[in-house]
Amino acid sequence: MKKANLLIALVICFTASAQFDNSFGIKAGTNYSKYIADYDTYKRKIGYYVGGFFNIRISDKTSIRPELLLANQGTKTSIEINNDFNIGEPVIAEGEIVSNINQLVILLPVNFRIELIDRLHLELGMQAGYLVKIQEVLKKVPYDPSLEGEKNKFPLSELDRFDFGLNGGLGFEITDRLELNARYGLGLIELNNFYKTSVISLGLGFKI
């Protein structure tokens, strides 16, 4: 009896999916992210994302799209070294200390989509994020170039790992299977008591 009920449920789900033209897909692309804080030492850095989506059709023009993504994002830091930085003491070398803070994050966006014109969709929704890994990579060290490329990991136990925010963007169907996505996401939670996330992303999705 249980097997029969399960089979009936699977048939119903399949029929509903076919009726409303729901679709699965994979997506990947690049992002341009930074921290937003009270001081201007953070700049945008380039990262990437990969994952998949499930498009749930509501009507001919609207749908809901949950996604599961793995993203490399974070920020670039830039600190100017001069005599003022060293509290009046002479510095060994003036210039900028530049580093990338790379975060590996699991993202769960859920967007409401509406077709504005043929093949062009507006996306609005919310997004949860969970931090998996974070490390700093030194890119430029004027007083000691030998340190460039060095990686420093941060202990996850001392950091806020959950993020939540809003996102919005556009999706354009290049073909019936291939689409282009552009999106902006803004974190609403002040992580570690000093920054919020800001991410611009651009990528391609492919319906399976």
pLDDT tier, 1 (very low <50, low <70, confident <90, very high otherwise): low
Provide the β-strand partners of residue 167: 125, 185
Of 79 and 130, which is predicted with more confidence?
130
SS3 at position 133: strand
What is the rounded distance in angstroms from the CA atom of residue 62 to the CA atom of residue 55? 10
Q: Which residues contact 89 (CB under 8 A, 6 or more apart)?
A: 83
**What pLDDT was estimated at residue 9?**
46
Higher pLDDT, 189 or 96: 189
Band (149; pLDDT cuts 50, 70, 90)? confident
Residue 109 has pLDDT above 80, yes or no: yes
Q: How far is 109 from 68, CA to CA, in rounded Å?
A: 7
pLDDT, tens only, 38-57:
887 899 999 999 999 999 99
Cβ atoms of 76 and 98 closer than 8 Å: yes
Pairing of strands 120-140, 162-173: antiparallel
State pLDDT tens for residues 152-161. Answer: 988 898 899 9
What mean pLDDT do residues 71-95 have?
A: 73
Task: Report whether 103 contacts 131 (CB < 8 A).
Answer: yes
